Amino acid sequence: FQLSSLFRYFGTATSTAVTMSPKKVTIIGSGNWGSAIARIVGSTTKSFPDQFDPQVRMWVFEEIVNGEKLSEVINTRHENIKYLPGKILPENVVAVTDLVESCEGSNILVFVVPHQFVKGICEKLVGKIPSDTQAISLIKGISFDKNEQGVSTEKKGGLKLISEEIKEILKIEVSVLMGANLAPEVANDNFCEATIGCKRKAEDGPLLKKLFHTDNFRINVVEDAHTVELCGALKNVVACAAGFTDGLGYGDNTKAAVIRLGLMETTKFVEHYYPGSNLETFFESCGIADLITTCYGGRNRKVCEAFVKTGKTMAEVEKELLNGQSAQGPLTAEEVYLMMKKTGLDAKFPLFAAVHKICAGEMKPAELVDCLRNHPEHM
């Protein structure tokens, strides 16, 4: 009896030791936002050596910048000279160009890539990721399944959240982080807030909060993950409308109307496709705060203003202004519009629909004001 008790004791101790072993973290993506987050994660992992492995791997899509490999520059000079120039990355952040190698042995995957690349990235990782791996998506967008595969997407007109796509392909738990976080300001260590949507809040929330929470990057964790994620995606569409009004020369009153009507459409959209959302979530950083910030700053507003003023195509404006990156708003607007058309709801979300039509050249930017004037909220 005593010997068996001893075995049970050591078995429990061993199990506890395995559970408490430091978590290895990989950041999948190294653009402007990914590099800004790497500065935070590199710092927090060093601050909590009992919880996190000190080395943070960052997957880098290799590019030649000024005759040098971007990955080598990051690993030697600790600076992403293309996407976050002038900001030093922690030395424990290591650039890895092989996707599978960067994720090998990792316990936490931080996804921060343009949303149109998520499916391809995940498919390359199938069979390479243990089932107990956690993921957290910082990607502000949605996936539109044109083939409507699966009952859930069929009911939603093809709508699939990025977190759902990651979970479906890799069979792992996925949380999300959204908020009023313009990457340059985060990189400058300016104070801001963010929201983590974590369905397993009690189990996974504390560790994820510790990974991102700093004196100047304050985290709140909520369970309403669907609302957190949709707020992050849809605010980019509203920001496009704000950019159009800026390009047309309208003032802050008009932009305020865009923000208000955009928020109304967002709340109704979330409630329609994911019933049971918590109204309080819209007052988190992921909601109204992110919406306001993005409508006054950020790349989506910027490119849409230039789109109106210059008369150039969206692709041309993005190439000129975004240093090889893309605005997620126009693509998200297209996906939202196609999904709404399939479910016959485009008339209920006229602002979202107008943004897509303007981006696609099907509607003149000046007609946006008529859309605001005749919005159902005013009827």
Binding site for substrate: residue ranges?
Answer: 140, 299-300
Q: So what's the pLDDT on residue 3?
A: 44
Question: Which among 24, 160, 235, 357 is annotated as catalytic?
Answer: 235
Taken in order 184, 265, 173, 170, the sign of the CA dihedral is: negative
The percentage of residues in the chain with a pLDDT greater than 70, rounded to a whole number, is 91
Binding site: residue ranges?
Answer: 29-34, 61, 117, 140, 183, 299-300, 328
Q: So what's the pLDDT on residue 343?
A: 87
Q: Which helix H or strand E contains 301, and what residues bound it?
A: helix 299-310
Q: So what's the pLDDT on residue 336?
A: 94
The confidence band for 147, taking pLDDT boundaries of 50, 70 and 90, is: low
pLDDT, tens digit, for every residue of 47-81?
A: 999 999 999 999 999 999 999 999 999 999 999 99
Q: So what's the pLDDT on residue 13?
A: 45
**DSSP per-residue codes, 127-176:** TTS-TT-EEEE----EEE-TT--SHHHHHTTTEEEHHHHHHHHH-SEEEE
Q: Please check the confidence at residue 325 and state whether its pLDDT lies above 90.
A: no
Respond yes or no: is residue 235 known to be catalytic: yes
CA 347/CA 341 separation, integer angstroms: 9
Domains and CATH numbers, the chain: 11-226 (3.40.50.720), 228-378 (1.10.1040.10)
Q: So what's the pLDDT on residue 169?
A: 97
pLDDT, tens digit, for every residue of 151-204?
A: 345 456 678 999 999 999 999 999 999 999 999 999 999 999 999 999 999 999
CB atoms within 10 A of CB 204: 18
Binding site for NAD(+): residue ranges?
Answer: 29-34, 61, 117, 183, 299, 328
26 close to 56: Cβ distance less than 8 angstroms: yes
Give the E-state strand segments of the chain in sequence order. Answer: 23-28, 52-59, 64-65, 68-69, 93-96, 108-111, 134-137, 142-144, 159-161, 173-178, 192-197, 217-222
pLDDT, tens digit, for every residue of 195-243?
A: 999 999 999 999 999 999 999 999 999 999 999 999 999 999 999 999 9
Q: Please check the confidence at residue 286 and state whether its pLDDT lies above 50.
A: yes
Q: Please check the confidence at residue 363 and state whether its pLDDT lies above 50.
A: yes
Mean pLDDT of the chain: 92
Q: So what's the pLDDT on residue 158?
A: 78
Q: So what's the pLDDT on residue 258?
A: 98
Q: So what's the pLDDT on residue 266?
A: 98
155 close to 345: Cβ distance less than 8 angstroms: no
pLDDT, tens digit, for every residue of 16-42?
A: 434 569 999 999 999 999 999 999 999
Q: So what's the pLDDT on residue 146?
A: 61
Q: Please check the confidence at residue 306 and state whether its pLDDT lies above 70.
A: yes
